[in-house]
Homo-oligomer: A and B are copies of this chain.
Amino acid sequence: MNLLSGSIRRVAIVGGTHGNELTGIYTIENLNRCPHPIDGYSFECMTLLANPKAIAANRRYIDRDLNRCFGNADLSNLDLTNYEDILAKEIAAKLGPKDRPRADVIIDLHTSTSNMGLTILLSSKHPFNLRLAAYLSTLHPDVRVCCGIQCNQDAPMLRSLSPLGCTIEVGAIAQGILNADLFDKTQMLVRETLNYIDAENQSKPLPIPTGLTVYQTLSSVDYPRDSSGKIEAMIHPKLQFQDYQPLQPGDPMFWTFTGESILYQGEYTVFPIFINEAAYYEKGIAMSLTEKLVLQP
């Protein structure tokens, strides 16, 4: 995808993909107020509350995690008929399809119980995304830029409907609450994202640094479990809330219920993220391990 001046015609801002992550939901409602804070740009700006039933129930999802329903195989599988599978197809019809999306850029707003600060999870390593992330990373020291294992449109997340855009993942915050500080920072990131796109759209790009630190996910680590799948240890107190900090071979990783440490057995230093995310207990993820790269935006 090559971008020409003025080529971003439509930006979608999405909240409530997970119904108990209130920050994104209230951000969307705030953007929908009169007077419209998102008028006056060189592109159309649309908002979406992605999972209305889950929002009403104050739950992450009703039948299945909506943010894992956007894989190509699932989107084209008409036999999948539960609530989120049908919803994903409706959203793909509005914002997609993946090969020619109606929304040129998708920004999906999330929160985490992990200490993710102000994380920008890139939809792909497209130069547009790297430039946008480089700009955002100048705004606040808590901004960090990540790529998932699948940092492209093959991923099953909502953001994968377009190659351009990102998930904004703020934390640490419990599910089902608002935190004024993180709410305000999310507003700032949305506003600055739109400002950046607008400036680039008008061939007046805002200044960005020459190097961009990106945390590239390598793998995920599950909790130690017994043969029945029951958790046998917690995140070690020394690792709790230490997202993005180096974890070195021999560092404590887990803490058993009887008070024993389990150490990191890897061979080199990694940077864990999504440490102790509530929604990932059921996915078998205690944390994701990343490596630190410097890319040229």
Contact = CB atoms under 8 A, between A and B. Distances in A.
Interface of A: 26, 29-30, 58-59, 113, 172-181, 183-184, 231, 234-237, 240, 255, 257-259, 276-279, 281-282
B26 A177 contact: no
A258 B184 CA distance: 9
13 contacts: A26-B231, A30-B257, A58-B282, A113-B174, A113-B176, A173-B174, A174-B175, A176-B278, A176-B281, A179-B235, A179-B276, A180-B235, A183-B234
A257 B113 contact: no
A223 B276 CA distance: 29
B58 A240 contact: no
A284 to B, nearest CB: 14
Q: Which 3 A-B pairs have the closest CB atoms?
A: A174-B174, A176-B278, A113-B174
Contacts of A30: 257-258
Contacts of A240: 179-181
Contact of A174 (B29, B183, B257, B278): B278
Contacts of A58: 281-282
Contacts of A174: 113, 172-175, 278
Nearest to A239: B180
Given A173-B174, A174-B174, A178-B235, 9 more contacts: A58-B281, A59-B59, A113-B177, A175-B175, A179-B237, A180-B237, A180-B255, A183-B234, A183-B257
Contacts of A59: 59
B175 A278 contact: yes
Contact of A234 (B179, B237, B255, B276): B179
A59 B26 CA distance: 23
A7 B151 CA distance: 65
A25 B175 CA distance: 19
A282 B183 CA distance: 20
Contacts of A255: 180
Nearest to A176: B278
A235 B174 CA distance: 14
A153 B278 CA distance: 34
A177 B175 CA distance: 11
Contacts of A29: 257
Given A30-B257, A259-B184, A176 B279 contact: yes
A175 B160 CA distance: 29
A177 B237 contact: no
